[in-house]
Amino acid sequence: MSLAHSSNAFPLSTPDAACQASDACLEVAPRAPLALRGEISLELELRHAGRRAVTLRYESVGALELPAIFVCGGISADRHVAASAAHPEAGWWQAQGGEGQALDPTRHRIVSFDWLGADGALDVPLDPADQANAIAALLDRLDIARLEAFVGCSYGAMVGLQFAALHGVRLGKLVAISGFHRAHPYASAWRALQRRAVALGALQCDETHGLGLARQFAILSYRTPDEFDARFAPARVVDGRVRVGAEDYLDHCAARFVGRSSPTAYLRLSESIDLQAVDPAAVRVPVTVVAVEEDRLVPLSDAHALVDALPVAARLRVIRSPYGHDAFLKEVVDIGEILRHALHSPLQDVCKENAA
């Protein structure tokens, strides 16, 4: 079934040569965690587009024999979760990844991938279930029979629930942060307008501007009025027009985003969020659900509904944050504590409970 497979391994640090040659050397320099980065090509049956040739790009940090944790973020996240000796640039979840952090590659093999469709080459409807099946296919190719845990944030949490429902026998536990079993209609309306902004830009032969505007709308939905009230000054007149305090920030967000995203990828992954539909009864692994009280895209009521409907052990953790939906990136201490407890507490200690 597979068409191609390539990867690069990095034995990242070795003992000093003089030390290797001498019996007098009593200490050996520690090795950095093994880092693998590569891609596989295969055919995958998509729910809404039939059988397609796809390429999955992955990264794995940690010894191959360690228990594996799959980590996924929002639609703009990629396979690079945190810096390593082989890939020292900061990852999208740098605050939680690395030695001594919640996602520690000396204790677990941390695996992630670029979302199916993230390169813009797959211009078809993508269901979150397609992502879950792609992850299962990737695990097959990496010879990972079972994950100790799946940690997902935002869209990644939705995909985690899909994976638990479709491939639960391969999963020990799930941590679902700010992403649940359905797309809320209010959030879907926000995203529909963002996609219209991209389409309007294309009609004006300016896709970049449309994509930037969509990202600015998205930022407003991720954050909260309280944050903007505390952060930005009142409007002022500049060169004969009124400019509000947040415009420079929103322009910066747009410029950063359009430099690393394609309109096609953005549209298809945005649509994919709105296709989320998981029957909680199909999820039969222990789940830690994390919700943010101020999140306007993924409301707390949906978190309660999910936990109440799960047929297995579940824990709801609720935090408060002016960062709203982006709290999983910003509330480093609270999220780190929740992750440590969820990942390292014995399964039998996970019971149905609500904790604020």
Enzyme catalytic residues: 154, 295, 325
Buried b (16+ CB within 10 A) or exposed e, 313-323: bbbbbebebbb
Q: Give me the count of residues in the chain.
A: 356
Helix (H) or strand (E) holding 194: helix 185-203
* Helix (H) / strand (E) containing 56: strand 50-61
Spatial contact of 194 and 289, defined as CB atoms under 8 Å apart: no
Asked if 134 contacts 56 with a C-beta cutoff of 8 angstroms, the reply is yes
Query: To which H or E segment does residue 150 belong?
Result: strand 147-153
Question: Cβ contacts of residue 144 below 8 Å, gap of 6+?
Answer: 68, 109, 111
The Cα–Cα gap between 90 and 104 comes to 15
Q: Name residue, tokens 């029957």.
A: 279
Instruction: Confirm if 61 and 35 have CB atoms less than 8 A apart.
Output: yes
According to DSSP, the residues that pair with 43 across neighbouring strands are 53
DSSP H or E stretch at residue 171: strand 171-177
Instruction: Please count the helices (runs of H) and the strands (runs of E) in the chain.
Output: 11, 12
Query: Within its chain, how far is the Cα of 152 from the centroid?
Result: 5
**Collapsed DSSP state (helix, strand, coil) of residue 95:** helix
Question: Over the range 37-63, which residues count as b (16 or more CB within 10 Å of their CB) and which as e?
Answer: bbbbebebebeeeeeeebebbbbbbbe
| Spatial CA neighbour of 65 closest among 33, 97, 93, 42 | 33
